[in-house]
Amino acid sequence: MRIEHIGIATESIEKSLGFWRDALGLELVHTEEVAEQKVRVAMLPLGEPRIELLEATSDDSPIAKFLQKRGAGVHHIAVRVDDIHATLERLKAQGARLIDESPRRGADDCLIAFVHPATAGGVLLELVQHEDDTE
Ligand code: ZN
């Protein structure tokens, strides 16, 4: 397992790029709207992991709710796993609280699942499996 990305909730991706891309010098390689999660996503590699900037596309987006409650900042940490189904089974067996009982489609065509922060010491954890890792 390794860190796949760090998700950061922003009021505006455009404004946040002023820091992450323009001031710090990271390269913006990918932007995408994930309709199912009501977010717009921008990916900036930082070594192998990436910074994932998140912007709500609707008022009932999880990111909009997060911003209302906590303001902009680190939203989740994503860990890349080889077999997301096996990892979910393992966590379930260990009594972990899961937001997603089964994987769903995330940005970049990956399979993702969120683990509840209550389980991971206040950290919202995202599991990510890349398509090219299947089979
Ligand atoms: Zn993420």
Q: Is the pLDDT of residue 102 over 50?
A: yes
Q: What pTM did the predictor assign?
A: 0.91
pLDDT in tens, 46-84: 999 999 999 999 999 999 999 999 999 999 999 999 999
Residues with CB under 5 A from ligand 1 (ion): 7, 52, 78, 126
- C-alpha to C-alpha distance for 36 and 71, rounded to whole angstroms: 22
Ligand 1 center from residue 6 Cα (angstroms)? 7
CA 90, 83, 52: angle at the middle one, nearest 5? 105
Pick the CATH number of 2-129 from 3.30.160.270, 3.10.180.10, 3.65.10.10, 3.40.50.740: 3.10.180.10
Ligand 1 center from residue 9 Cα (angstroms)? 10
pLDDT of residue 133: 54
- C-alpha to C-alpha distance for 97 and 124, rounded to whole angstroms: 11
Q: Comparing C-alpha atoms, which of 36, 24, 108, 38 is closest to residue 66?
A: 38
